[in-house]
Amino acid sequence: MSQNQLDMEFGYNLIQNVSSDEYYTPPFIFEALGLTFDLDVCAPVGGVPWLPAKQSLNMMDDGLTTDWQGLIWMNPPYSNPLPWVRKFIKHNNGVAFVPTSSGKWMLELWQSGCVWLAAPPVRFYTADFTPAKGMMPLRCWLVAAGNIGIQALKQSKLGKVR
């Protein structure tokens, strides 16, 4: 039986099975940060239920062309984070959740002057808001820009801030 046939038979959301971009940050990260964000710039339609954001932008809103206001949360599409990281650096007010990478975007983010925290191991949540089966195989980072985000990282007790 093909993967598509299995997906149809068991009712899996095909997007979550073919897209590494349909995974969401677990609730404990937000509990530790203790922030309410003005905007989640990379949300699914309807937002993430446990993510404390006043507003969210989804694919139809196009967070890359929409103006960002206030304190933002960004868990960018891991398939193409470079334009998101550049906009995050320019906005300079928020917290981002990114994987380790050897890509150009990570070097730009590292050199931007943002504050970094190596996130503890995480089990992402899938498109249907259930925990993924395994832990994220790559080290992830919380990256903060602006005083509010930096203070939240320092007070989070999630790890050492650099």
Domain boundaries, the chain: 24-155
53-88 pLDDT, tens digit per residue, is 999 999 899 999 999 999 999 999 988 999 999 999
d(CA 28, CA 131): 12
102-157 pLDDT, tens digit per residue, is 999 999 999 999 999 999 988 888 878 888 887 777 789 999 999 999 999 999 99
User: To the nearest whole number, what is the mean pLDDT of the chain?
Assistant: 86
d(CA 117, CA 108): 16
pLDDT tier at 20, thresholds 50, 70, 90: low
Mean local confidence (pLDDT), 28-38: 97
List Cβ neighbours of 93 (8 Å cut-off, separation of 6 or more). Answer: 70, 71, 72, 145, 146, 148, 149
CA distances from 55 to 69, 70, 71 (A): 10, 11, 11
Level-2 CATH architecture, domain 24-155: 3-Layer(aba) Sandwich (3.40)
Q: Are 100 and 139 in contact (CB under 8 A)?
A: yes
Q: Is residue 69 helix, strand or coil?
A: coil
pTM of the complete model:
0.84
82-105 pLDDT, tens digit per residue, is 999 999 999 999 999 999 999 999
